[in-house]
Amino acid sequence: AQKVTQAQTEISVVEKEDVTLDCVYETRDTTYYLFWYKQPPSGELVFLIRRNSFDEQNEISGRYSWNFQKSTSSFNFTITASQVVDSAVYFCALRILTVGGGFKTIFGAGTRLFVKA
């Protein structure tokens, strides 16, 4: 069965701290995609990253970085020097190809990040 676990329901940090949001996934497929999305208090989703299972290179985009570890089935997201504007709910997702040839995307429950000034 496929599953995405975001074990941290809520995290609270002080501005300028670094914070890592964990994402652990389960799948037997060798080909899959992993995503991170951000949903700020306004409610409008923001796409952050898509990574395919064959690309294990870590990615950095400004203050954001992602650590993909197939050995531990994790795709963790780190925000460096957090800012108040980073306060949001962050979702991790796994996308797989189903037996019938279609797709299925499984979302984690989300981690709510509070960044205090």
111-116 vs 10-14, strand pairing mode: parallel
Task: Say if residues 47 and 29 touch (Cβ distance below 8 Å).
Answer: no
Nearer to another protein, 37 or 77 (CB): 37
Measure the CA–CA gap between 74 and 95, rounded to whole angstroms. Answer: 14
Nearer to another protein, 47 or 54 (CB): 47
Task: Say if residues 31 and 38 touch (Cβ distance below 8 Å).
Answer: no
**Number of helices (H), then strands (E), in the chain:** 0, 12
**Region of residue 99 (left: phi > 0; alpha: psi -120 to 50; beta: else):** alpha
Point out which residues bind another protein (CB under 8 A).
37, 39, 43-47, 50, 89, 91, 93, 95, 98, 100, 102-105, 107, 109-110
Nearer to another protein, 58 or 98 (CB): 98
* CB 93, min distance to another protein, A: 8
* CB 4, min distance to another protein, A: 11
Nearer to another protein, 16 or 104 (CB): 104
* CB 54, min distance to another protein, A: 15
* CB 29, min distance to another protein, A: 13
